[in-house]
Every structure is written in C-alpha cells, then in structure tokens.
Amino acid sequence: MQRTLSRRRFIASAAAASVLPATLGHAGIPSSSVLGFPGDEPSAAPAGSVWDKAGVIDLTHSPFAKLKTVPVRAVTIEDGFWAKRRATNINSSIPSMHDELVAHGRMNNFLRLEGESSVSQTGPVYSDSDIYKWTEAVGFSLQTADHPELRKTTETMIQEVVAAQEPGGYLNTYYVGDRKPLRMLYPTQETGHELYNIGHLLQGSIAYYRATGDRTLLDAGIRFIDQFLIPGYGPGKNQKGIVAGHPEIEMALVELYRTTGKREYVDLAGYILRGDDRIPLTSGQITYMFCGIPFTSRTKLEGHAVRAMYACCGATDYYLETGDADYWKTLNHLWADLAEHQLYVTGGVGAREAGEAFGDAYELPNARAYGESCAAIGNMMWNWRMLAASGDARFADVMERALYNGINSGMSLDGTTYCYRNPLAFDPSGDSRDRHSPEGHIRNPWYDTTCCPPNLERTFASLPGYFYSTSEDGVYVHLYDNSKMDWQLQDGKGLQMVQTTNYPWEGDVKLTVSPSAPAEFAVYVRIPGWSAKSTVKVNGRQMEGAEPGKYFAIRREWSANDVIELSFDMTTQLLKANPAVVEDHGRVAFQRGPLVYCMEHLDQTDQQYGMNLTYFSTHLGAETSARFEPGLLDGVMVLEHPGSLSHPVQAEGLYFSASKTERLQEAPTTLKLIPYYAWANRGPAGMQVWIPYKNV
Amino acid sequence: MQRTLSRRRFIASAAAASVLPATLGHAGIPSSSVLGFPGDEPSAAPAGSVWDKAGVIDLTHSPFAKLKTVPVRAVTIEDGFWAKRRATNINSSIPSMHDELVAHGRMNNFLRLEGESSVSQTGPVYSDSDIYKWTEAVGFSLQTADHPELRKTTETMIQEVVAAQEPGGYLNTYYVGDRKPLRMLYPTQETGHELYNIGHLLQGSIAYYRATGDRTLLDAGIRFIDQFLIPGYGPGKNQKGIVAGHPEIEMALVELYRTTGKREYVDLAGYILRGDDRIPLTSGQITYMFCGIPFTSRTKLEGHAVRAMYACCGATDYYLETGDADYWKTLNHLWADLAEHQLYVTGGVGAREAGEAFGDAYELPNARAYGESCAAIGNMMWNWRMLAASGDARFADVMERALYNGINSGMSLDGTTYCYRNPLAFDPSGDSRDRHSPEGHIRNPWYDTTCCPPNLERTFASLPGYFYSTSEDGVYVHLYDNSKMDWQLQDGKGLQMVQTTNYPWEGDVKLTVSPSAPAEFAVYVRIPGWSAKSTVKVNGRQMEGAEPGKYFAIRREWSANDVIELSFDMTTQLLKANPAVVEDHGRVAFQRGPLVYCMEHLDQTDQQYGMNLTYFSTHLGAETSARFEPGLLDGVMVLEHPGSLSHPVQAEGLYFSASKTERLQEAPTTLKLIPYYAWANRGPAGMQVWIPYKNV
C-alpha cells in the first residue's frame, strides 16, 4: 500500500509555492547573469553559461566544438509536424506523467525523509532520476514558453526534493535508513544508480535554471558534487574510487562545468571515463556497464545499450572540452560499429532483451528487437555531440533517423502512453509482447522502471535546440520544419531564419535568411542522406553540387529576406539490409523522406488469418504511391504498394519439403503502409517493418 | 590451485580396489536376483527389476507402457555407423573424461571429506552430478561388454563417493563445512542442485547396478532418499516441502521404484511434480525452473530447456506408472508445442543463451541458437518415454532426428572434445562463438559446467537399448543399424533379430527374424517420417500400406530366418521452415535420410571472403547428387548442389536501396554439404544449415 498524492494535492502544493527570485518569460530577464558561485576561484577557464543563452547543451566556450549550439528559446517551432507532437507533450504527456510519478509514490520518497509521509520507499533504486528527468522536460518546455501552473508545481517539487538533501550534500531517497550503510560501496556503485540519479538531477536542474534562472535544484546538485562526492571519492589516495555503474554522471559533470566554469568537473568526468583500477570489476560488469575501464580502450559497442550510449555522450562531451585525440579516435571507431553493425533502420539500438543489450554485429532481430526508447534517445544525444565536434552530416542523418522513427514511436499520438521497447515487428497474439507490462501492452502509461516516458518528454521539449548551429563562418541547418530562429552569428551579428515547409510529408523547404545587416557568411544546408537528387536555389537561382549526406555550403553576401529553396527527393525507397542481418533476408523496408514505414494488419484489405502478417509479400519492381490521409493517425502520408497474400502453410507443420510450396495459392493485393512512429495507436494489430518481397 | 589426481593415481587406485561381491560379465550372473532391500515390506506393487534384464529404463512392470524396453545387453550393435561412434566413446571419450574430472578436482571434492585431500571444494554446485553421469556412462558401457580396468577404476570411485556420505544419508560435496547451514533451504533448493545431484547419483547407480549387480552406490542413493529426504522433506506437516529446482530427481525416483519395487518413490516423484504451495516462488522462478507448480498446469515449453525436458521425462515416467490422464493430456500438449514451435531441424531445443532457455514460439535463430547438447539429449529421453507410452512413431521420428543430428554433433569425431552449444550457423571470425570457452572454441575437452560431455557419453553407451521394444502382440523396430537382438517376446518366447544395412548412408535394411520356435506375432517396422516412398518385403514378397511416420505392422507366423527387406527413400529433401521462423525465411535446409546437412566454408570451391558463407545461395529447382567419401570425416556421404556466389555488398553499408542489388555480380558454383553432426572437426570454418535459395 502506498499513499497516493492526488491531483488535489498537486494543485494545493502548487498554490502554496513561494515566489522564487527569477522572473519568468522571455522578457525582463537579466540576460547576462553568469553564475558566480561562492568560493569559486578566479580561473583561466572559460566563463560559465549565460543562463538564458544556452542550447540543449552549451558549447559556447567549448574549444573543440566546430559547431556551437543555438539556444532552445531562440528557435520557435511553428504549426507543422513537430508543433503538434510538442503541443501534446506539454499539454498531455508532461502533466499526466507528473500525476503518474506522484501516484506511484516517487515524490513521497522525498516527503518521507522530511517527515511529510510515513509510507515506505517505493520503486527501484533509480526512481529519483525519473523526477529529475521530468523536471528537465519542464525546464526545456519553459525555455520555449511559460506555463505558470506547471512552473509552480515544479518549484514545489524542487523544494521538496532539496529539503531531503542531507547537510553533507548527500541526496538519494533509496540509500537511507537501513540502507544507509550501503551508500557508495562498490557493489552499490555498480548497481545502485546513485551517481546516475545525481547526473539526472544535474541535467534537470541545468535545464530548469536555463529556463528560469532558478538555481535551487542546481545548487543542491553542486552541493552533492562539491561537499559529498569530490571530498570522499575520486582518484586521490584518501578518496575512495568511483565507478559510474550506469554512465550519465560524465555528461552531467561536463554540462555542470559549462554552466559554472569550474574546470574540476571536467577533470572528474575524465577520471570517471578512465575508470579506477582500484575497483574490482568482472569482465561481465565491464561489458554490461560500459564503464570502469578507460573509455579509450573500448573497441565495440556492447553491453547495456543505454549505458553505452550515455557513456559515448559523456566521452564526446569530454572531447569537446579537452580535444583528447584518443577519445576522438575511439568515438569514431565506435560510431562506425554503430552505423555498420548495430543500428536499426528506425535509428533504434540495442537488439537484446537480456541485459537490454547490444547484440553481436548484425544481430538485429525484428519482433524481438529491444530498441528501448531511452537507447534511441541516447543515440540521438550522442550523434548531436559528434555532429558538433565535426560538422559531419552523417551524424545528423543518424540523429534524424532516430528522432523521426525509433524515438518518435516511443510516445503515443495522444501523449499518454509510451513504448519501452520499440520492436520492428509485432504479433499481439504471440509471445513477443512487452514484458514490462503485466498486460503485455506495447504502450503503457506507466512502467515501474519508468525511464523512457520522461526521457521522451525532455527530448521533444528540447527539440528547437537541435535545428541549427553556428560555426566560425556561418550557420548550419540540421532539421526541417516550419520554424523561426532569432539568434546571432558568432561575430554577434543578428540573424533570423524562417523555414516554411510541409516536411516530412513533402520535400520542399523555403528558408528565408535575414541578417540584421548585409554580411558575407555561409549557410550550410543539410542534404539528407536519403535524398538521392536534391535541388538548391538561392533567390530563384539553382546552385550546383548538392550531394546526399553532406552539408551544402552557400557562401555569399546575405541580405534580409534572401530565400533558399530546397527540394529533396521524396521517392519512396525500398531498402535491403546487409545479408549478414539474417532476419531481414529476402525482405525490404520502405522509407520515404526521413520516415520509415510499416504495415499494420488493420490497414490491409485482406483481413484473413487473424492479425498475422506472415503471409503478405511485396513486389520489388512495382511503383509505390503516396497519399496524405488527414483523418488517419493525426494526418499521415500513407504508402500503397502492390503485393501478394498467400494461403498459410501452417498445416504443413514447422518444416516441410520445399517442393510442397508450389501448392500455395497466392492472391494479388495492395499493401498499405503507415509511418512507423504511428503504429500501435489503434488497438492491437500485427505490424512489420521488414516485408518479404518477390521479384515481380 | 588444486591438487590434480594424475593418471598414475588413477591406475594405482584401480589396482587397490577390493573385489566387490557381484561377478561381472554376461556369463555366470545370477540372473533373477531381484533386489530385496532390508526393511522392505511385502507389497502388492509389482516386483522390482531383474537387474540384468533392464533396458535404458525398465518398463517391465509399468502398467501404462504400451511398449516394454529391451535390455541394453540384449542388443549388440555391429560394424557400422554407431559402432564406430560407440567405440570412440568407450576407448577415448569415457577415459579422457575421467582424467578431466579428476584433473579438475571433481573427485577431490569427495576425498577431502574423507581427509584424503586438503584442497578446497572445486567447481559449481552441480559438480557431483558429473561424476554420477560419468558413472552412468560406464554402467551402460558395461552392460554391453566388460572393461575390467574401467570397472575397477569406477569401483574405486564409487567407494570414494560413498565414503563421503554422512551417517544421516546426506551426500553432497558442496553443502558441507561453512555451507552446511544452507542445505535444503528454499533458496538452496531452488538453485543448489542438491536433488539434481542425487537424481544423477540414482540414475548412475542404477545403470552400474544393472551392469554389474554391484549396489554400493545404489544403496547410498537409497540411504539419501530413505534416511534424509523422506523423513525431513515432503508434503507432510512435519516435513519441509521440496522443490526440485532443476528437475531430474523425478525421473530418477520413478526409476528407483522400478528398480526396488518400493511405491513410495513414485509417490514422492508425484508430489514433486505437483509442486508444494508452501514454498514461495516468483513467476520468474516457476518459468525458469519448470517446476514448483503442478506439472499438469503447464501450457507451453518455456524457461531453461534442460530443466523443461527433464521435467517432461519425469512426468512421462510418472504417467507410465500411474496412468494419470491429466499428465498424458499435458504431455501431449507440450509435445505439440515442441514439434510445432520449438524444435530445431536438428532435433535440438532451447533457442536462447539467456537462461539457456526456450524462446517464444517460432523463435529459432541459427547462429545464436543455444541448442545445448543436454537439451537435445533430454528431448530424446522424453520422446523415448512418450513412444513407450503410445507406440506412436512421431515420437520415434523426433528421437531419431535428435540422435543423428543435434546430439551426435555434440561429440567430436575423435571423442575428446564436445559442443555445449549446437548452433545451426557459425562464423568463427564473428561474435557468435562459444561463450563457455575462454578461447571461443565451439568444441572443448572440458567446461567448468561439464554437464554435456558425460551426458553424451551415457547416451551413446545406452544406445542399444533404444533399438527395439516389445508389445503384447510382438516387437517394434525403432532404429536401424547393423545389429543383433537376442531377447524374447512378452510371452517368453525367444526372439533373435539381425539387421544388415548401410544406414544412414543407404536406405536398404535387411531384417532377419528368428523366433526360437515358429509363432504368430507382429513385427512393427518404423517407416521414418522423412521417407516419402518406402517398400517393405517379407521373404521377397512386397507388402502394401507402408506410410511415412508410422509403424508398419507385419503380422504373420514367423519362423527362423524369415527376412524383412526395407527400402527407404533416400532422395535428398530441401526443407523450408514455417514462415513464422523469421531467420529461415528465403532459406532451405538439406536432409537426406535421418541426416541434416550443412555447408562448411572449407569444403567450397570458392574460397573468397574469408570464412564467410553469407554470399552463397542454392538453386531450388536443381538436382542434388550424393557421393560417399570414405576418407572424409571418418567417411561421410557428401551432397553437391548447384548454387551461386555473389560479390559482397558490404561496401554499401548496413542498409542500401534495393535497386542497387542489380549491380551484384553472381558466379555459378557447386555447393558441397556434409552431415551436420560432423561439422567443426577440421579447424575453424564458417558453417550454415539454412542456405539462401533462388528459384532457378
């Protein structure tokens, strides 16, 4: 039994919240208030963030970032594909997730430490992190627009969290009471998620600080690091060593450095990334946790997929600040492993349910794909950092693939249910259902391990920050949707960019470029890897040389209202997989623009054989037609393609002579496909991304 | 460090062994000495075994066995396919396994309890079972022929084992000393394998007793059950409950009943099969352990494959003694699950490495197949019991499939190395190597969990017992090889059967039937399921009505030297799998007679692309040719079939447009295939059973 904080209490707490110092909203914010922390020594390190000028991560002063982030608040996403998803996120997902977190006792875990609740601790060791990740989602949302009630609720929650912090800086609702002696022991460091929780606290607090200027939670995080972690733990002789257990703290520490300017946090991240050989670890732990040995000794992606992705994020952040060439070498090697052997066509990663892990090279099962939403998000976050380090469009291609497909599938269209797993085939009558859900549903409003829902929420909330970067010589355009950027070039010159498009349904994008005064600089427009033939026009004049999977640089003197017109190739592509991917043998996947498609059984004309899609095949040589259906799944472009439906052979048993196949009867049919992200929004149905083909 | 018992010590101990009461060898044995155990009450239960008249299991008095076992010693396998494997087993495998067991301290574990060794306990909790399973292999071997030195060695080992038994009957080398308080606690019952060990002790001791009349080890097993287990554990109010943890004890208890006539052992097996609801178990444990709830409530195969197979063996044994219809219903339902959803074409079972477990229905990956040798053996043992209960040839078909393929592959041709996993595809340069071996070898002389090697040894040693059964109205012929049976019909009339054949390379079998006096009875000859067209002749006259996958009954008056001639259809079959088996999509497997074939890379004419078989395909419409190669792999029939080799597309990356496929160049080639059981005997090579096909 656990006490439930009701909706009533939610509102009551919000109403009782004190007014915090920072005024909210875009206007009226003291916009150059660099954090000056008491006790900070003057240092040669670059200054910390200007709090309301930071992007998803803040690369303003990162010496090895070729591309600098643009503030989330500088970009407004307007009516279109992502605006709809983001409205659902703020209006439905974030509030309902709050209620779920409260109803499942996750805030009670803090309140009980303050004598406000007598019920016992609830949820797994990483439960605190879900509160922090939700706070981060709020923080990113408030960087776009104020939501006063949500802000007040969050302020109250932050106060309740901070009140649970011990005088020595320790903050965790699990390792208290009888479990206090277990704190930071080596077995606890490996499995207890103490630093994972704090990493999320830091990320959440930084996003909230960057939205509001409110540093209450951030200060609590800094106290944990400065007063508890650094004095007791680290490489020193009088310190106990650290192993991350679940990587996350590394990138959080680098972001804390970027926020405060205190170099010690980068050094601590580097120490954790190197691993401490005083800590005894088995080879199984080293594989699974993706930490504990020098990051630069890694040669492949393996073990728990989210851990590996977060470790790669932290290592790239560390590279962006230090330029350590060994890191860059290792990161590129691991990225090649990702792209050549481990990446689902949906941008998801992590093939295996056992250990939520990467499989062997080319081990990419479909129905049994794990493809945890968090792992796809980690993949996007990592590629975002690699892109910043290099300006190489291949990282943006992977980012876009993950965002539109394997991440976007994680949240239902109404924003109230979530996928933990994102398989590429599904049989609701079969065994391969979601084992995280007692009912076997693939989408659920809550998971006892509820890492994915707030992770999806923070991702959609931070999306404006991923559209653009600046470079020394101009501006990069990474993503396409109706939007406005109001920011500046690195020389401080103001720059507005306006996108008008029906992307991803159509391939035309109009970009209006308006510098505050005429100036020569480059606009780098991303030509997606999937666009075989693209055209680029500037003020009506066609430019030559746009290549798929590259940024196309348009270097000229720009004046207000110059227009770039992009036209991408939206021809539907039938993709094959490398023959070493055994489950995709003899199958194709459909992709149109950035969107990967799937068949759901309930869209097919032939409704025989229950919900089983096994007996459909597609004709390789035929043409695909695309048609927008405004009433379907909040409006999607559907694909239709000729195919066949054969009679089942199940009566023949598990194995049968190939010569008996001739007896199968086949009927022509038309396959209807929907974007993968929109699957499982209309009740149980068979689904498949990879469809058997015939050479017709 | 552990003390190693050297080969020298082996011989010394053997020489020092005392002479045991039973005289050995076929001649001179008091052949009707039913065990009379002190304290046995006279009972209405059928008498126990005649010790030297028992089969693999002894169904002489089992009321629900339609078929009765024939003694192992009544059948002599002569020169041919199995004689060679069995000679290797007794001359190479069993002696070298003894040395491995001793070298790895498994006997020391007993000696240290007798003060004979000061080194500490070695190996996992189930280490004792490997000694017992090895003893069972010796026991079955001695039922065929005496091997005096091996017998002496075994007598010494048995004395050393029995000397470690405690006065109260407890016998286990792991739960001693500091671990003594853990004995039979519920966590220990679930994971500690105490009863698994004792189950194997009973099976080993019964096989050894049936070979030699020596009941030293058997008495020790009975003391454990009578003095320790039954008084302390069971369903009674003053007993603690039992959960098998790893099923095995169930079938051992039923066999102990068959050996002693003491009905209490069947009742105890039934109690364990029902599960004791006083023992708290999680649903995960219930799935994984395949015990702890009523066996009759099971609806599918799941969890640890060996546990599930052994549980099914025990449940079938229980049915054979009790006729409980609920058991028969459940067993048939589970068998249908096996045959329709879970059976590899090799007869192996257990798809997943994680938990060594059954996967979902149709989850039958190839390179990642687990297919533990022990699970295939459990599958054969279960089907043997189902066959006895029913006389239905479908069980014999599965038994033969497992024996010739997924079991036979488990032991190298020279008998000194073993497969733990038996995958259906292999890339020695890839990741999917054997994780039980530090070097990643698929065949190893020793595993720290060395369950499979002695399991393979006991199976080959017991093989003569699987060839025939008797029924009320005659005799059943299950397996084919050069052999002689010298036994009797159920009415006591003597019967000799002589098989002459070149099976499995050729499909002709000559069976000479010689009753001791002319008599009318039925000879049931098995028509294998794979033989589409079979002919049966009696004394040269063709009989009508032989159907694949059935026993063909020849009921007539038989006289000495009557001849049955069988001719089976050895046309190579190209098999497809049910389309729900996603990894077999677009692929075929080759089967000829009972043998499933595979490609090894080193047999192919085209040796490009390292050891990777990915780029070969086979032509569906073409003819296969078969040719015996006496010098290859101890003599095998090889298959040759037209195919193609295409250039690799790896340069195209993980995914590529289907239209680019046209650029692939293909060259015709001839694929060469060898029997699956013989793979991995010539150094590392790529291997695949399921080969991509083209409709050429």
* pTM of model > 0.80: yes
For the segment B512-541, the average pLDDT, to the nearest whole number, is: 98
Residue A7 pLDDT: 32
A352: domain CATH number?
Answer: 1.50.10
> Taking CB atoms and an 8 Å cutoff, what residues of chain B touch A352?
354
Q: Has residue B35 been placed in a domain?
A: no
Phi and psi, residue B510, nearest 5°: -105, 125
Question: A574 and B361: CB-CB below 8 Å?
Answer: no
For the segment A491-511, the average pLDDT, to the nearest whole number, is: 98
pLDDT band of residue B658 (cuts 50, 70, 90) is confident
Q: Has residue A44 been placed in a domain?
A: no
Tell me, yes or no, if A586 comes closer than 8 A to chain B by beta carbon: yes
Residue B43 pLDDT: 40
Q: Are A495 and A512 in contact (CB under 8 A)?
A: no
**How many whole angstroms from its chain centre is CA B101?**
20
Interface test with A, best of B431, B654, B691 (most A CBs within 10 A): B654
> Taking CB atoms and an 8 Å cutoff, what residues of chain A touch B657?
573-576
Residue B614 pLDDT: 82
B307 and B273 in one domain? yes
Q: Has residue B348 been placed in a domain?
A: yes
Report the 10 Å Cβ neighbour count for B630.
Answer: 7
Residue B611 pLDDT: 61
Residue A228 pLDDT: 98
Tell me, yes or no, if B651 comes closer than 8 A to chain A by beta carbon: no
Give the end of a domain, one of A441, A466, A491. Answer: A466
A81 pLDDT higher than 90: yes
A483 pLDDT higher than 90: yes
Lowest mean pLDDT, pick from A257-266, A283-292, B25-34, B498-507: B25-34
> Taking CB atoms and an 8 Å cutoff, what residues of chain B touch A574?
657-659
Give the end of a domain, one of B567, B588, B603. Answer: B567
Residue A26 pLDDT: 35
B12 pLDDT higher than 80: no
Determine what percent of chain A is predicted with pLDDT higher than 70. 89
A34 pLDDT higher than 70: no
Residue A646 pLDDT: 81
Judged on CB neighbours under 10 Å (0-12, 13-18, 19+), B491 is: exposed
Residue A694 pLDDT: 85
Residues 6+ apart with CB under 8 A from B430: A360, A361, B367
pLDDT band of residue B473 (cuts 50, 70, 90) is very high
A227 and A338 in one domain? yes
Tell me, yes or no, if A553 comes closer than 8 A to chain B by beta carbon: no
A607 and A477 in one domain? no
B310 pLDDT higher than 70: yes
Tell me, yes or no, if A240 comes closer than 8 A to chain B by beta carbon: no
B331 and B403 in one domain? yes
Q: Give the C-alpha separation, A152 to A14, whole Å.
A: 5
A19 pLDDT higher than 90: no
**How many whole angstroms from its chain centre is CA A14?**
29
A31 pLDDT higher than 70: no
Tell me, yes or no, if B578 comes closer than 8 A to chain A by beta carbon: yes
Residue among B368, B586, B614 minimizing CB distance to A363? B368
Tell me, yes or no, if A380 comes closer than 8 A to chain B by beta carbon: no
Inter-chain contacts counted by CB atoms under 8 A, chains A and B: 133
For the segment A50-79, the average pLDDT, to the nearest whole number, is: 96
* DSSP for residue B429: T
Determine what percent of chain A is predicted with pLDDT higher than 90. 83
B426 and B544 in one domain? no
Tell me, yes or no, if B581 comes closer than 8 A to chain A by beta carbon: yes
What average pLDDT does chain A have? 90
A479 and A460 in one domain? no
B565 pLDDT higher than 80: yes
Residue pLDDT, tens place only, A386-417? 999 999 999 999 999 999 999 999 999 999 99
Residue pLDDT, tens place only, A565-596? 999 999 999 999 998 899 999 999 999 999 99
Q: Has residue A428 been placed in a domain?
A: yes
B37 pLDDT higher than 50: no
Tell me, yes or no, if B431 comes closer than 8 A to chain A by beta carbon: yes
Q: For residue B640, give the 3-state DSSP assignment.
A: strand
Q: Has residue B386 been placed in a domain?
A: yes
Q: Has residue A198 been placed in a domain?
A: yes
B490: domain CATH number?
Answer: 2.60.40
How close B391 comes to chain A (CA, Å)?
21
pLDDT band of residue A437 (cuts 50, 70, 90) is low
Q: Has residue A584 been placed in a domain?
A: yes
> Taking CB atoms and an 8 Å cutoff, what residues of chain A touch B656?
575-576, 578
For the segment B404-424, the average pLDDT, to the nearest whole number, is: 97
Residue pLDDT, tens place only, A107-139? 999 999 988 878 899 999 999 999 999 999 999
H helical segments located in B427-466: 452-462
pLDDT band of residue B26 (cuts 50, 70, 90) is very low
Give the end of a domain, one of A416, A451, A466. Answer: A466
Lowest mean pLDDT, pick from A200-204, A613-617, B165-169, B298-302: A613-617
Q: Are B131 and B457 in contact (CB under 8 A)?
A: no
Residue A438 pLDDT: 64
B447 and B524 in one domain? no
> Taking CB atoms and an 8 Å cutoff, what residues of chain A touch B578?
649-650, 652-656
Shortest CA distance from A284: residue in chain B = B435
What average pLDDT does chain B have? 90
pLDDT band of residue B21 (cuts 50, 70, 90) is very low
Q: Give the C-alpha separation, B525 to B514, whole Å.
A: 15
pLDDT band of residue A667 (cuts 50, 70, 90) is confident
Residue pLDDT, tens place only, A446-482? 999 999 999 999 999 999 999 999 999 999 999 999 9
Tell me, yes or no, if B587 comes closer than 8 A to chain A by beta carbon: yes
B677 and B642 in one domain? yes
DSSP letters, A18-79, are: PPPSSPPSSTT--TT-----TTPPP-SSPP---GGG--SS--TT-TT-SSEE--GGGEEE-T
B17 pLDDT higher than 70: no
A490 and A618 in one domain? no
Tell me, yes or no, if A653 comes closer than 8 A to chain B by beta carbon: yes
For the segment B43-65, the average pLDDT, to the nearest whole number, is: 81
How close B321 comes to chain A (CA, Å)?
32
Residue A212 pLDDT: 97
pLDDT band of residue A503 (cuts 50, 70, 90) is very high
A546 and A666 in one domain? no
* DSSP for residue A407: I
Tell me, yes or no, if A536 comes closer than 8 A to chain B by beta carbon: no
pLDDT band of residue B273 (cuts 50, 70, 90) is very high
Question: B653 and A614: CB-CB below 8 Å?
Answer: no
A377 and A513 in one domain? no
B2 pLDDT higher than 50: no
Residue among B366, B615, B654 minimizing CB distance to A577? B654
Question: B578 and A652: CB-CB below 8 Å?
Answer: yes
How many domains does one find in chain B?
3
Residue among A430, A574, A649 minimizing CB distance to B658? A574
Residue pLDDT, tens place only, B430-444? 655 566 666 678 999
Interface test with A, best of B337, B583, B655 (most A CBs within 10 A): B655
A2 pLDDT higher than 90: no
Residue pLDDT, tens place only, B320-335? 999 999 999 999 999 9
Question: A576 and B620: CB-CB below 8 Å?
Answer: no
Shortest CA distance from B657: residue in chain A = A575
Q: Are B362 and B337 in contact (CB under 8 A)?
A: no
Q: If residue A155 lies in a helix (H) or strand (E), which one and from where to where?
A: helix A148-163
Residue A615 pLDDT: 84
A15 pLDDT higher than 50: no
For the segment B408-421, the average pLDDT, to the nearest whole number, is: 97
B241 pLDDT higher than 90: yes
Looking at the DSSP bridge assignments, the partners of residue A543 are: A536
The boundaries of the domain holding residue A589 are 573-694
Residue pLDDT, tens place only, A342-367? 999 999 999 999 999 999 999 999 99
A111 and A249 in one domain? yes
For the segment A285-311, the average pLDDT, to the nearest whole number, is: 98
Question: What are the angstrom distances between the C-alpha of A4 and each of A130, A133, A449, A456, B249?
Answer: 17, 21, 18, 24, 48
Residue pLDDT, tens place only, B275-298? 999 999 999 999 999 999 999 999
Residues 6+ apart with CB under 8 A from A330: A295, A296, A297, A298, A315
Q: Has residue A310 been placed in a domain?
A: yes
